[in-house]
Structure 1
Amino acid sequence: MDNSNKFVSGLLLVWDVITLSLTFLLSISLFKENSFQVMDWLVFFGLTTLWFVIVLSRKLYLSDMGQDVSSRIVNFLKSCIILIVLFGLTYLIFTFPPNFRNAVIAFSIGFPLLGVTTNFIIISLINRWGNNGNRHKDVLVTGMGNMVNQVNHYFNGHPNLGYNIKGFVKYSEKSTDNDAQYVSDISHIGDYMNENHVDEIIVALPIKCSKKIKSILKTADYHGARVRFIPDYKEVLGEDYKVIRHGKIDMINARQMPLDNKLSNFIKECFDWCFSSLALLFLAPLFLIIAILIKMDSTGPVFYCPVRIGKAGRPFRVFKFRTMVTNDNAGISSTQFNDPRITRVGKILRKYSIDELPQFANVFFGEMSVVGPRPHRSYLNQQFQKAVDKYMVRHYFKPGITGWAQVNGWRGPTETQEQKQQRFRHDLWYLENWSLWLDIRIIWLTIFGKKTHSKAF
């Protein structure tokens, strides 16, 4: 278990103990007539000790925090049930005051409910923190000259910046003076990235001063004049770039977008958090009704959780209501018009995109955004990557429940080149022109727009 997992495990352990303590103390205060007595404190310390024994035996805090959220919650609930059963047996076997019964019932109900709620919130905050640049970025470095070594030494010496340099890419045959081992060369960098995850590529190239520039610098120095050099970045990078300074190293962020701004990203994160929290709260009764209807309509689970590709090309599981008799877990078979697998309830859910509503849980946990490019299956993602130029740019940020492409009618099938191009162009336009008001407009059009549901089946 690495340091980040140890921190998260420790945080969850402390929080669960606090939750247990608050629930027990409140149960005694509200449902037991007499004030705290010695026996109450003995029961409290006994429950706390029993909780430690249960969670250690079930390895609740030793598992990988990168596991599915559902696995963590289920394991927590099982631990709660074991604790409550043992507590109930102790109450039945030994003699307790009559007024202690209500406190036992209150604790048995309150601890699982409060515990699940707080666990959802804590895991959501942890995932949101990790999904917004606060994890290590896997980086390749390429270039020529001493600047390559400077980049390597600087980021290795400042691990708090989150750059994990995986190795050098040989820029030319002359590139033999670096301290790190080469993992590829320019010609085969794509092959390396097919097998290894890479978040960023740092290109460190010196600007070779011509004799004329050196002459100007010499004359300016002689006369005490300042020189400001303007490199022509636009010729290579276009209009969208930003110069960022790390120590004494200037880095150019190619394809700078609005959400690269920390304030803009923070505003979007706050909006996602608030919107998804309210949505889950108000939609909970509807979710219960839909779950019952799905169960009555056909056999199988209520939810369908396929793997989709998210930010930085990382896979995650999305929450959806099951709308088919059988689901394609391999992620290859696309839904067809009048697909015989779609259930009666499923037709209604898909028509109005109600099956997508559980994805507010993905937003709550920081895996998705309310608005953004729709997440695709791995198989479809690979098709797009080969067929559409610069397609993977849409993975710079989180995918969304709805998006600019969807409200403009480009949802559903992606069988033709035009359908693929149009979906990507709309996604890219959204990323390049993001604003909070644009997000609100897209949400409005998702609910009331005519084009949004025209191609749903």
Structure 2
Amino acid sequence: MRKGGYSIIIKPLLYIIDLTFISFLSLLLLTDNIKSILFFNFFWIITSVFVSFYNVYRFTKIVEVLTRLTKQNFLFILLVFTYLFINKSNVDPKNVLSFFFWLYFSLILWRVLLYFLFRRYRIITGSNYKQVVIIGVNNSTKKLEKFFNNHPGFGYKFMGFFTDDNAIERKGAVLESYDFIIKNEIDEVYCSVKELTNKQIKDFINFCDINMKSLKFIPDNKELFTKNLYLNYLDITPILSLRKIPLEDSINSVVKRLFDIVFSTLIIVFVLSWLIPILGLIIVLESKGPIFFRQDRPGIKEEGFGCYKFRSMAVNTSSEKSATRNDARVTRVGKFIRRTSIDELPQFFNVLFGSMSVVGPRPHLWRQNEMYGTKVPKYMVRHYVKPGVTGLAQVRGYRGEIETKEDIINRTKYDIFYIENWSILLDINIIIQTVVNVFKGEEKAY
């Protein structure tokens, strides 16, 4: 278990444990009113978002963890005091003070213990670590190497330097790093900005986008630039990250997954339960073959999955060919269900079982990935998240057949914008716009 491990469940689990503890202390010292306890839980969640209390990463210092904890508790105390005052609660002031003392003391103890426990876990088991390489050798990159090697508890495994300077001990030249990164499944690439040309930086950006590697920059301290970049520190070395993806946050990921499960279940129960037998009969009566059409398509991290649709074409051997206007393969009922997007509804089973999301970049054909993966800038970034039944590019008019180069470029731009700016409200907005477009009719729905 090298990459990631169970990292995705850590933040939701911390929320559950903290809220359970708050509920227990509230019940023990403040009130047995369930409504009040639910309010206290809500206050904790709101304040945690405000102070980014749960945005703790493997490189976050213990001092910062405790600072956020203090801010979190202070704001939480104010909200609870305000609530008790407004509701004219008759809770004994001593109990209130005891509540906050035990909460603060216990959380400090719990967080410090957890902080060092995770570090020991990584050191002892050798799991949940990220393999990294550094491009360029100078004082800053040597400090970073020292940090990686001397602090295994942070979960990084340094795999070597790459530089064009032959006089320095290295793993290879800069150009040789590309093959090494692929063959050794490197997770993160750290580039020293001052040792690379603009062309080399651009090449690394394109390479990491195509191969879905995390790219970070070590800036020249004299010329620090942060536009469109995100600054963090590993020990005292400043690190610039190229892209920040909201869905890499485990809370956001859980929220989106819960939304997908609820929404897809509603569609399956209230729509597909009666639509499948009726439409299935019509499809079979018009042309021989199965009701559903299953096609292997690239999903998250370009892992293949079986994408389901209602069969809208006569059975043929050219399924890897995209549908075109007036396509002879499309049946009469197929024209209707494609025009109304009903053929896509079985993909809600994909959503329910986790290979797709309700909203995301539409899954392309493998042939299209081969065509555009290295030719369209940032095309492969689409695979950082699960593909969707609908997407931002589709509601902006870039759906169906790709007729010109501008079609795929603009579709990719919208997909990347969605990935980098995701929110649950954006998902809901796209779903509403999708429904509106179905009733309005779309020119490229064929």
> Which TM-score tier does this pair reach, normalised by the shorter chain?
0.5 to 0.7
Q: Are the counterparts in 2 of residues 409 and 451 from structure 1 also a CA contact under 8 Å?
A: no
Q: 1:172 aligns with which of 164, 170, 187?
A: 164
Code of the residue aligned with 1:355 in structure 2: it is: D
Q: 1:255 aligns with which of 231, 243, 248?
A: 243
Change in 2 beyond 3 A, CA 1:196/1:362: farther
Taking the TM superposition and a 5 Å limit, the aligned residue runs for 1:193-342 are 196=183, 198=185, 200-203=187-190, 205=192, 231=221, 235=225, 238-243=227-232, 252-282=240-270, 283-327=272-316, 331=320, 333-342=321-330
**What percent identity do the matched residue pairs reach?**
34
Q: 1:142 aligns with which of 134, 138, 141?
A: 134
Distance 2:315 2:128 in 1: 39
Q: Are the counterparts in 2 of residues 408 and 452 from structure 1 also a CA contact under 8 Å?
A: no
Distance 2:180 2:309 in 1: 34
Q: Are the counterparts in 2 of residues 147 and 206 from structure 1 also a CA contact under 8 Å?
A: no
Superposition deviation, residue 456 in structure 1: 0.7
Code of the residue aligned with 1:297 in structure 2: it is: E
Change in 2 beyond 3 A, CA 1:289/1:196: farther
Distance 2:282 2:319 in 1: 26
Superposition deviation, residue 284 in structure 1: 1.9
Residue-by-residue CA offset, 1:63-91 (whole Å, 9 max, x unaligned): xxxxxxxxxxxxxxxxxxxxxxxxxxxxx
Structure 2 equivalent of residue 411 of structure 1: 399
TM-score, scaled to structure 2: 0.56
Taking the TM superposition and a 5 Å limit, the aligned residue runs for 1:24-173 are 139-143=131-135, 144=137, 145-147=141-143, 149-150=145-146, 153=149, 157=152, 167-168=159-160, 170-173=162-165
TM-score, scaled to structure 1: 0.55
Alignment of 1:426 with 2:414, yes or no, is yes
Q: Are the counterparts in 1 of residues 314 and 329 from structure 2 also a CA contact under 8 Å?
A: yes
Structure 1 equivalent of residue 102 of structure 2: none
Change in 2 beyond 3 A, CA 1:298/1:433: same
Distance 2:385 2:361 in 1: 9
Change in 2 beyond 3 A, CA 1:140/1:410: same
Structure 2, unmatched stretches of 5+, are 7-126, 196-218
Q: Are the counterparts in 1 of residues 312 and 343 from structure 2 also a CA contact under 8 Å?
A: yes
Code of the residue aligned with 1:171 in structure 2: it is: T
Structure 1, unmatched stretches of 5+, are 8-134, 209-228
Change in 2 beyond 3 A, CA 1:305/1:192: farther
Change in 2 beyond 3 A, CA 1:357/1:139: farther
Structure 1 equivalent of residue 385 of structure 2: 397
Distance 2:223 2:296 in 1: 39
Residue-by-residue CA offset, 1:143-166 (whole Å, 9 max, x unaligned): 3354564466479x559x6x787x
Superposition deviation, residue 427 in structure 1: 1.4
Code of the residue aligned with 1:241 in structure 2: it is: Y
Q: Are the counterparts in 2 of residues 322 and 346 from structure 1 also a CA contact under 8 Å?
A: yes
Distance 1:356 1:328 in 2: 21
Superposition deviation, residue 443 in structure 1: 0.5
Other structure's SS at 1:386 match:
coil
Superposition deviation, residue 401 in structure 1: 0.8
Aligned residues: 295
Structure 2 equivalent of residue 27 of structure 1: none
Structure 2 equivalent of residue 435 of structure 1: 423
Larger Rg: 1
Change in 2 beyond 3 A, CA 1:192/1:347: farther
Superposition deviation, residue 273 in structure 1: 1.8
Distance 2:236 2:318 in 1: 49
Change in 2 beyond 3 A, CA 1:244/1:360: farther
Change in 2 beyond 3 A, CA 1:368/1:249: farther
Superposition deviation, residue 241 in structure 1: 1.9
Superposition deviation, residue 405 in structure 1: 0.9
Residue-by-residue CA offset, 1:259-289 (whole Å, 9 max, x unaligned): 3333323221221121112222222221222
Structure 1 equivalent of residue 104 of structure 2: none
Code of the residue aligned with 1:203 in structure 2: it is: Y
Distance 1:244 1:269 in 2: 31
Q: Which moved more, 1:371-380 or 1:443-452?
A: 443-452
Distance 1:164 1:309 in 2: 29
Superposition deviation, residue 451 in structure 1: 6.8
